[in-house]
Amino acid sequence: MSDPQSDMKAAMEEATQAAQREREAAKALLAREHEYETANLRGRQPQIKHAKAALEAAQTAYEIAKRDVQRLDDKAQEVVQAQVRAAYM
């Protein structure tokens, strides 16, 4: 049987790392949005297509990171609740 404190610490650390990945994905998304807007202003089709593809990839990465954060936050919450229940039994 694993140590509840270790489980809680691991779950919280995993959630923290996922939140960091989400922040990095958000920064990348903003950068790709800026590149796309700049390409649109310049009106160059090859650059627009490239920037749009990069923007779509960044949006996908950000959505995945958001889902990971939610899933890992939920997991961390479950671990904490289980530990609280165990403490009162």
pLDDT tens, residue by residue, 38-72: 998 888 888 889 999 999 999 999 999 999 999 98
What Å distances lie between residue 29 and 37, 45, 60, 80, CA to CA?
12, 21, 9, 32
Q: Does residue 2 register a pLDDT over 70?
A: no
pLDDT given at position 15: 86
Q: Does residue 1 register a pLDDT over 80?
A: no
Percentage, residues of the chain above pLDDT 90:
51
Distance CA 40, CA 42 (A): 5
Output the CA torsion sign for 30, 51, 37, 57: negative
Distance CA 4, CA 56 (A): 41
Q: Per-residue pLDDT averaged across 67-80, rounded?
A: 88
Helices 45-87 and 4-42 pack at an angle, to 10 degrees, of 160
